[in-house]
């Protein structure tokens, strides 16, 4: 086994600078907003793992099922030398792919994630269990990291978990075009997307009975208090979930229970909230096949195959560059 390698593209300083810019712009905007990527500090990542185990949150189980049932076919169809995984996190579901692909032509696994600690442990675990693979972790943002990665042989880029749904439509278009620009004709993209379904089930998936998602959402304010010296009275903010039927996306919001003023020390910035005013902390778009096909097409990909679970809750699409 060769020693796993870690390449750091975005440093803590880059991330700190981005956070400050996002807070400065997003909390001045009307309505107020924050990028959903700030939900994933250490505590947030733990809470997210907990969310994926809740009975209301069908997504992870549905995607695992699809991958378990179809990984061998995906491996056979693609037969690439390199698997790149964007936003790999713990790389758990990736094992389903790696198990199938190691029997084919796979030589290299390149997981990319913003969290250096999560990536480091994933890379070490995978390198141990797949000694024949060259494993090279890349610390970076999935929206920019791929373009900066050294080119290799034929590749499949996997972007699973439905995370593409956390981007706004314009950002998705830009993201897909940038992935396509980093690939060569004949390379592959494997994309996980949550699907449009009964709004009640969707809302429950983001507003679970145990309140884990509420805690996950409010945790972003604790992070701002810690990282930027803000003084958000966290318990005065209520977790809200809204289904936007026109745009077919879920919004997570935090609603101020009373009029309040927050001071963000590191930015020397005062933020006023009217009673009931909300901050949007996440969008999570839900897809239909025609939209998946169209967005891939606009991004320069051809949808080749797609798979869904039996209930039709989630989809995994395979597209060629
Ligand atoms: C799996 C990261 C895409 O949008 O469903 C879970 C994150 N937010 N509960 C999603 C999330 C609230 C999530 N992603």
In tens, the pLDDT along 143-154 reads 777 777 766 789
Indicate whether residue 206 lines ligand 1 (CB < 6 A).
Answer: yes
Q: What is the pLDDT of residue 253?
A: 98
Give the Cα separation of 15 and 55 in Å (integer): 33
Measured CA to CA, the distance from residue 98 to residue 128 in angstroms comes to: 13
Q: At what angle do helices 94-101 and 59-78 cross, to 10 degrees?
A: 20
**pTM for this model (two decimals):** 0.94
* pLDDT at residue 89 in the model: 66
The mean-pLDDT minimum among 7-16, 43-52, 74-83, 144-153 falls in: 144-153
pLDDT score, position 104:
83
**Residue identifier of the C-alpha nearest atom 4 of ligand 1:** 284
Rounded distance between C-alpha atoms, residue 136 and residue 275, angstroms: 49
* 155-159: strand order across its sheet: 5-8, 134-139, 108-113, 82-86, 155-159, 188-194, 314-320, 302-308
Q: Which of 115, 162, 175 is the pocket-test mutation for ligand 1 (most atoms within 8 Å of CB)?
A: 162
Q: Are 115 and 46 in contact (CB under 8 A)?
A: no
Ligand 1 in contact with 4 (CB < 6 A)? no
Average pLDDT over residues 260-269: 98
Whether omega for the bond prior to residue 26 falls within 30 degrees of 0, making it cis, is no
Percent of the chain exceeding pLDDT 90 equals: 81
What pLDDT sits at residue 142? 77
Predicted confidence at residue 306, as pLDDT, reads 98
C-alpha 246 – ligand 1 centre gap (Å): 20
Q: What is the pLDDT of residues 199-223, one digit of tens each?
A: 999 999 999 999 999 999 999 999 9
Residue nearest to atom 12 of ligand 1 (CA): 206
Would you state the pLDDT for residue 15? 85
Q: Say what the pLDDT of residue 1 is.
A: 59
Residue whose CA lies nearest to ligand 1 atom number 3: 163
Contact status, residue 121 vs residue 50, Cβ threshold 8 Å: no
Given the CA of residue 161, which atom of ligand 1 is nearest to it? 1
**What's the CA-to-centroid distance between 186 and ligand 1, angstroms?**
30
User: Looking at the chain, which runs of residues are DSSP E strands?
Assistant: 5-8, 32-33, 82-86, 108-113, 134-139, 155-159, 188-194, 237-244, 249-256, 260-264, 269-273, 278-285, 302-308, 314-320
What is the model's pLDDT at position 28? 98
What's the ipTM? 0.97
What percent of the chain has a predicted confidence (pLDDT) above 70?
A: 97
Instruction: Give residue 111 CA to ligand 1 midpoint distance, Å.
Output: 19
Lowest mean pLDDT among 12-16, 19-23, 265-269: 12-16
Average pLDDT across the chain, whole number? 93
Please give the distance, rounded to the nearest whole angstrom, from the Cα atom of residue 101 to the centre of ligand 1. 27
Average pLDDT over residues 13-31: 94
**What was the pLDDT predicted at 103?**
83
The residue-averaged pLDDT of 170-197 equals 96
Tokens at residue 179, please? 């992935």
- DSSP element (H, E) containing 19: helix 12-26
Q: Is 165 in the pocket of ligand 1 (CB under 6 A)?
A: yes
Among protein residues, the one whose CA lies closest to atom 2 of ligand 1: 163
Q: Higher pLDDT residue, 150 or 41? A: 41
| Ligand 1 centroid, distance to 46 Cα (angstroms) | 13
Please report the pLDDT score of residue 294 as a whole number.
98
For residues 143-171, average pLDDT: 87
Position 6 confidence tier, pLDDT thresholds 50, 70, 90 = confident
Q: Is 282 in the pocket of ligand 1 (CB under 6 A)?
A: yes
Residue 114's pLDDT is: 79
Query: What's the whole-number mean pLDDT along residues 216-236?
Result: 98
CA dist 222 and 265 (Å) reads: 14
Confidence of residue 2 (pLDDT cuts 50, 70, 90): low
Residue 87 Cα: closest atom of ligand 1: 2
**47-73 average pLDDT score:** 96
Instruction: Work out which ligand 1 atom sits closest to the CA atom of 162.
Output: 3
């Amino acid at each position: 086994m060769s020693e796993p390698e870690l390449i750091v593209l975005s440093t803590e300083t880059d991330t700190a600078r981005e956070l400050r810019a996002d807070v400065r712009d997003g909390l001045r905007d009307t309505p107020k907003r924050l990028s959903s990527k700030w939900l994933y500090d250490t505590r947030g990542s733990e809470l997210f793992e907990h969310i994926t185990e809740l009975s209301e949150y069908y997504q992870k189980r549905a995607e695992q099922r699809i991958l378990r049932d179809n990984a061998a076919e995906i491996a056979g169809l693609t037969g690439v030398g390199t698997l790149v995984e964007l936003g790999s996190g713990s790389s758990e579901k990736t094992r389903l792919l790696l198990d199938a692909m190691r029997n084919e032509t796979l030589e290299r696994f390149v997981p990319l994630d913003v969290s250096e600690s999560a990536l480091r442990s994933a890379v070490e675990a995978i390198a141990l269990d797949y000694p024949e693979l060259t494993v090279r972790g890349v610390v970076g943002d999935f929206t920019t990291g791929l373009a900066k990665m050294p080119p290799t042989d034929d590749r499949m880029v996997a972007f699973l978990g439905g995370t593409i749904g956390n981007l706004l439509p314009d950002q998705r278009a830009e993201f897909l075009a940038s992935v396509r620009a980093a690939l060569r004709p004949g390379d592959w993209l494997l994309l996980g997307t949550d699907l449009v379904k009964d709004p009640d089930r969707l809302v429950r998936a983001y507003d679970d009975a145990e309140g884990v998602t509420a805690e996950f959402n409010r945790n972003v304010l604790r992070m701002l208090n810690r990282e930027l010296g803000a003084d958000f009275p966290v318990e005065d903010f209520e977790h809200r979930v809204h289904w936007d039927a026109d745009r077919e996306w879920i919004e997570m919001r935090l609603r101020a229970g009373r009029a309040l003023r927050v001071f963000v020390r590191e930015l020397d910035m005062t933020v006023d909230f009217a009673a009931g005013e909300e901050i949007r902390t996440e969008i999570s778009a839900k897809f239909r096949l025609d939209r998946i096909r169209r967005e891939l097409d606009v991004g320069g990909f051809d949808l080749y195959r797609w798979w869904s679970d039996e209930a039709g809750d989630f989809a995994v699409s395979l597209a060629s560059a």
